[in-house]
Amino acid sequence: MTNYDYDLFIIGGGSGGVRAGRIAASLGAKVGMAEERYMGGTCVNVGCIPKKLYSYAAHYAKDFADARGYGWQFPVAPEFNWDTLVANQSKEIGRLSTIYQSMMRGAGAEVFHERATLLDANTVQLQSRKVTAKEILIATGGWPFVPQFPGSQHAVTSNEVFSLDKFPRSILIVGGGYIAVEFAGIFAALGVKTCVSYRGTHLLRGFDAEVAAAFTTELEKSANLHLQSNVEEITEQGSRLRVRFDRGDDIEVDTVLFATGRHPNTAKLGLEQLGVKLAKNGAVIVDETFTTNIPNIHAVGDVIDRVALTPVALAEGQILAQRLFGKGNKEMNYDNIPTAVFCQPEIACVGLTEEDARERYDEVLAYRSQFTPLRHTLSGRNEKTFIKLLVDAKTNKVLGAHMMGEYAAEIMQGVAIAIKAGATKADFDATLGIHPSVAEEFVTMRTPS
């Protein structure tokens, strides 16, 4: 019988790794973990949490303007201080990262703040020592991707944008996904002259096309859009940056943010030398049990490039730990996962897009509602809310729900429970609305269009 230093050794201290480690330790496993940067991973440090804090900051700017329509007067105009926001969010992120560290140690796991690489299927090389483990989990997440071109070194990514030394007066955001549009909303609301450049024809690819189009209309009210454009070169112009596009035009801005996606963070971990199968983008290929082609090496979270969401990584880590050290045999269900984009206005959805629904079902009924929320009848803000339900005409089952508007994420969480439970349109129709509210629109739409 081989003796190992650990029953489970985890490389990566993000959401999936920490959840797997805590569950494994609670089931009696001896757990070790290596995290070379920061406990809590992307979500806590340079993702979900700081992004939501900055989104709150941006909303205040709009709230101050809205308040005037409700009789509030400001003898002195409110002033925004970037340094205060950066310092306060940094303090909060530090607190949360410490909590993750404490959770692991409280569970009895040993945490190494070092880089780790694999020497063989059971041996991990740390900077300070070598350790062995019966089972190894790769949970190293993703890393921002910036294509190489002349001057690309002048761009920042979502890793650095939260702590810019100087608040920009103007910014170019490159990308059309959720990270790009979230930062576009944040900076535009904070008063920054904002431009978004995207190589595609429309933003938010993969989301319901009608919702994405409605959002694009809203974003154009506060930011300039350069669709079907690529950045060819960035050059320094004193303290500013000149950006040249492939279509021949150029602009000058203070900051260029590349939000062009994240790649699985698997470089130089020793996986290829071991023969662990990787996808072309570096993602670790795993089966339904989150196991690689080497039976004792596993992976969860963004590094497997399935659904890059924190709750998904948490669920994957828990399922794996329970299977390895408990009696669990549950498989991950990726259907009807709710998600939100904390752009402005917010987007949230669960289930199928209209495009996917029409591919899978013979007849789909689409219920739509677009309106000005009651709040903005007095605030004067020119912002629409858009709500959509997709229904299988044969079974009356609700296939998808989509919303663009204030508090979309908070509202969609409840809708997601109904859809996960298999609710029909008749169930929605039989539910009384809370009046007056935006959410009641989900139960008052009667006529498909």
Model pLDDT, residue 322: 98
Nearest Cα to 428, choosing from 419, 86, 5? 419
| From 113, 202, 263, 435, the catalytic residue | 435
Tokens of 9: 């050794």
Sequence length of the chain is 449
Nearest Cα to 172, choosing from 240, 87, 262, 74? 240
Question: Which residues make Cβ contacts (< 8 Å) with residue 38, sequence separation at least 6?
Answer: 13, 44, 45, 97
Q: How far apart are CA 253 and CA 411, in angstroms?
A: 37
Cβ(125)–Cβ(8) under 8 Å? no
- Of the pLDDT bands very low, low, confident and very high (cuts 50, 70, 90), residue 202 is very high
- Which residue segments constitute the domains of the chain, with CATH numbers given? 6-144+263-325 (3.50.50.60), 152-260 (3.50.50.60), 339-443 (3.30.390.30)
Q: pTM value?
A: 0.96
pLDDT in tens, 77-90: 899 999 999 999 99
Strand, coil or helix: 43: helix
Model pLDDT, residue 248: 87
Sign for the pseudo-dihedral over CA of 146, 158, 244, 230: positive
- Of the pLDDT bands very low, low, confident and very high (cuts 50, 70, 90), residue 227 is very high
Could you give phi then psi for residue 424, rounded to 5 degrees? -100, 170
- pLDDT over threshold 80, residue 432: yes
In the residue annotation, 435 being an active-site residue is answered as yes
- pLDDT over threshold 70, residue 315: yes
Model pLDDT, residue 180: 98
- pLDDT over threshold 60, residue 346: yes
Sign for the pseudo-dihedral over CA of 74, 76, 77, 80: negative
pLDDT in tens, 318-329: 999 999 999 889
